[in-house]
Chains A and B, each alone.
Chain A
Amino acid sequence: SQTIHQWPATLVQPVGSPLSLECTVEGTSNPNLYWYRQAAGRGLQLLFYSVGIGQISSEVPQNLSASRPQDRQFILSSKKLLLSDSGFYLCAWGEGSDTGELFFGEGSRLTVL
């Protein structure tokens, strides 16, 4: 069966520090991968998605970047964090079809102080 892992689960970082959140998927090949951010515990905003290795699409302009160095690895990064980057970050994978559901990781809570 397929599983998705995210780490770290919780992170407290000072303003201006770098960020790296990692996500890996097991049990499937060539998944589509997604990073969502959930602010204030409510709505989800799609940040990035990837349909293959090295292929990243950004949905919103921001202080963050994403990379996909391997088929089942998706990384969210920042060179210098802002206070507004605080939130709950969720990685998800899907088969890439319009009718397929997404499967989410357990999330990473980032607090920028």
Chain B
Amino acid sequence: AQSVAQPEDQVNVAEGNPLTVKCTYSVSGNPYLFWYVQYPNRGLQFLLKYITGDNLVKGSYGFEAEFNKSQTSFHLKKPSALVSDSALYFCAVSPSGTSYGKLTFGQGTILTVHP
């Protein structure tokens, strides 16, 4: 069975500094990896995904993520954080093969960007 770990419950950064939100995964076969963001009392918004190809994936709102197969990681990054980036971030995995589009999510990481 597939699983996703987000080792940090919370990440705090100052506005303008780079940010990293960590994610590691465990899945048999090739993984399809996703990042979502959730603002309070809202649904999840899709940020980016890795399917194949370039290990560095660019997504919405200036976010990017780096796929590292040897470390089974897919960390979310942004060169310069904004206060408005403060939210709950989820990493998710869909294993290759027939999974009917189901995603397995990590527990989430609360990102707080301080002015």
List the interface of chain A (C-beta within 8 A of B): 6, 32, 34, 36, 41-44, 46, 49, 51, 57, 59, 88, 90, 92, 94-107, 109
Q: Could you tell me if A104 and B44 are in contact, using CB atoms closer than 8 angstroms? A: yes
Given A96-B100, A98-B95: 8 more A-B contacts, CB < 8 Å: A6-B43, A44-B90, A92-B44, A98-B97, A102-B101, A103-B46, A104-B44, A106-B43
Jot down 20 A-B pairs with beta carbons below 8 A, ordered by A: A32-B100, A32-B101, A44-B44, A44-B90, A44-B105, A49-B102, A57-B100, A88-B41, A90-B43, A92-B44, A95-B101, A96-B101, A98-B32, A98-B97, A99-B51, A100-B101, A102-B46, A103-B46, A107-B42, A109-B41
Q: How far is the CA of A68 from the CA of B18 in the complex (A)?
A: 44
Q: Could you tell me if A104 and B45 are in contact, using CB atoms closer than 8 angstroms? A: yes
Q: How far is the CA of A90 from the CA of B41 in the complex (A)?
A: 11
Nearest chain A residue, comparing its CB with the CB of B47: A101
Nearest chain A residue, comparing its CB with the CB of B35: A101
In which size bucket is the chain B interface? 20 to 34
Nearest chain B residue, comparing its CB with the CB of A91: B43
Nearest chain B residue, comparing its CB with the CB of A31: B101
B70 at the interface (CB under 8 A from A): no
Q: Could you tell me if B94 and A99 are in contact, using CB atoms closer than 8 angstroms? A: yes
User: Looking at the complex, which one of A36, A43, A98, A99 makes contact with B108 (CB distance below 8 Å)?
Assistant: A43
Nearest chain B residue, comparing its CB with the CB of A93: B101
Residues from chain A with Cβ under 8 Å of B102 in the complex:
34, 46, 49, 59
Residues from chain B with Cβ under 8 Å of A46 in the complex:
102-104
Nearest chain A residue, comparing its CB with the CB of B105: A44
How far does the Cβ of A70 sit from chain B's closest Cβ, in whole Å? 19
Q: How far is the CA of A100 from the CA of B92 in the complex (A)?
A: 12
How far does the Cβ of A9 sit from chain B's closest Cβ, in whole Å? 9
Residues from chain A with Cβ under 8 Å of B97 in the complex:
98
Q: How far is the CA of A36 from the CA of B102 in the complex (A)?
A: 10
Residues from chain B with Cβ under 8 Å of A32 in the complex:
100-101
Nearest chain A residue, comparing its CB with the CB of B106: A43
